[in-house]
Amino acid sequence: MSIRQTDQPTIPDAPATGNTINQLDWDLLWERFGIAVVTVVIWLIAGLTTPGFANTDNLVSVLRQSAFVGVSAVGMTIAIIAGAFDLSVGSTQALCAWAAVSVAKLAGVFPAFAVAVTLGGIVGLCNGFLVSLVRIPAFIATLGTMFLVNGLTYIVTNGQTARFSGKPFVWWGNGQVMGLPVPSLVFLGCALVGVAILHRTSFGRFVYAIGSNREAANVAGVPIVKTTILIFVVVGLFTGLGAMLLGARLYSAGPGLEPGFELNVIATVVLGGTRLAGGRGSMLGTVAAAILFATLANVLNLNHVDAFVQRVVVGLVLLLALSVEGVRRRLAEYWTKRAARTSQASQPVREDQL
């Protein structure tokens, strides 16, 4: 990606030694594939140390578990690459899941699917409208719709949980195709669609452009308003789809479905290497991060680690992964300073150099 180049200020007259180039490549590699590699390593370690991890049933359940946050995270990745983000996905998820379960009971699977996705799209449209035309910062706009949608869901549902266990519907959350869980297949499909959107469409290029430099994108003729609205609609559509899967998985959905879901989704995207500042990010990272979080929960469960400790571990993993870059920069600074000091000590500064 050419975006990469604009991000690193080049020092004039800096010698292009092989060392600096390697240094930069490591950054890029870590950003692109770091989390995927970490996930694979954790799977290997878990397989060797945790009895019960490396059997098909368990792996299937890990993959299934990763899908519910993952589908929403696909949309959120696109939003965060564009430098926006959406705090309303938790409320939207509860609303869509409740609607999906209720409609599935009345009319069947495909109407449920349509209603969930449409509702998600409508919330996204509102968000996009508020951010692009009314010009409210995404953080505040989606914070507002978060409260609004949450309240509306409570009013519409009257605080009640909808339940439905019809076979064709719950298959979407619990079924398997060729040994793979249906939600994971949907998640995979969504991730591929996300990659296609980001790298094969003009919309995707606009997303990267807006995220790297909004003003420049505007000057270059990127339709900011249209793109922004579409971004939030995409987030809503994916969230609606993920919500339906979760409703199907649980056979039920109510207004207080998953408190803190929005922050989980954002954490997943960020752990996957997407920059909150925008302009950079990858779908592979998001998929890996979703699987990583699900794996962690699973491994900790298998080792009988208490649910409260699990929260601490999850937070620590997020902080560790995100501080790698800062720590490395600190170390590099330290080594350069040290090298400078030793070279100064060995060669006293000559007067003509001063």
Partner 1 sequence: MNANQPRSARVASSQVGLMLLIVCGAFTILSRQFLTPGNLLNVCTSASVVAIVGLGMTLAIASGNFDLSVGSTAAFAGCVTMSLVQRIGVAPAILAGLATGASVGLINGLIVTELGVPAFIATLGMLTIVRGAALIYTGGRDIYLYGQTQYKILSSGFAPVLLALALAFVLWFVLQHTRFGRHILATGSNAASARRVGVRTSLVLLGVFSIVGATAALSGLVLSAQVLTGNGRLATGLELSAIAVVVLGGTPLTGGKASISGSVLVAVINNGLNLLNISIFYQNVTLGLLLLGAIALEALGHRRTKQLTTP
Point out which residues bind partner 1 (CB under 8 A): 82-85, 87, 130-131, 134-141, 143-152, 154-155, 158-159, 210-211, 214, 259-260, 263, 266-267, 270, 276-278, 306-312, 314-316, 318-319, 322-323, 325-327, 329-330
Closest to partner 1 by CB, 69 or 131: 131
Task: Identify which of residues 97 and 123 has a Cβ nearer to partner 1 in the complex.
Answer: 123
Nearest to 70 by CA among 182, 215, 179, 183: 183
- Distance of closest approach, residue 184 Cβ to partner 1, in angstroms: 24
Full 3-state SS string of 26-83: HHHHHHHHHHHHHHHHHHHHHHHHCCCCCCHHHHHHHHHHHHHHHHHHHHHHHHHHCC
Dump strand ranges (E) for 237-303.
252-253
Separation CA 125–CA 129 (nearest Å):
6
Of the two residues 49 and 160, which places its CB atom closer to partner 1 in the complex?
Answer: 160
Smallest gap from residue 258 Cβ to partner 1 (A): 12
Q: What's the min distance (Å) between Cβ of 318 and partner 1?
A: 4
The secondary element (H helix, E strand) that includes residue 232 is helix 224-250
Query: Which three-class secondary structure state does DSSP give residue 176?
Result: strand
Q: Identity (one letter) of the amino acid at 217?
A: A
Two structure tokens written together for 193: 């669609």
Name the residue nearer to partner 1 (CB basis): 155 or 340: 155
Shortest gap between Cβ of 344 and partner 1 (angstroms)?
A: 25
* Closest CB 164 distance from partner 1, rounded Å: 23
- Of the two residues 4 and 275, which places its CB atom closer to partner 1 in the complex? 275
> Taking the complex as a whole, how short is the minimal distance between the CB of residue 44 and partner 1, in angstroms?
25
Q: Which amino acid is at 162?
A: A
Give the integer Cα–Cα distance in Å for 291 and 181. 14
CA distances from 3 to 16, 272, 280, 314 (A): 20, 18, 8, 31
Q: CB of residue 35 vs partner 1: minimum separation in angstroms?
A: 14
Of residues 84 and 237, the one with the C-beta less far from partner 1: 84
Nearer to partner 1, 111 or 151 (CB): 151
As a whole number of angstroms, the distance between CA 157 and CA 151 comes to 10
The answer to whether the CB of 86 falls within 8 A of the CB of 142 is yes
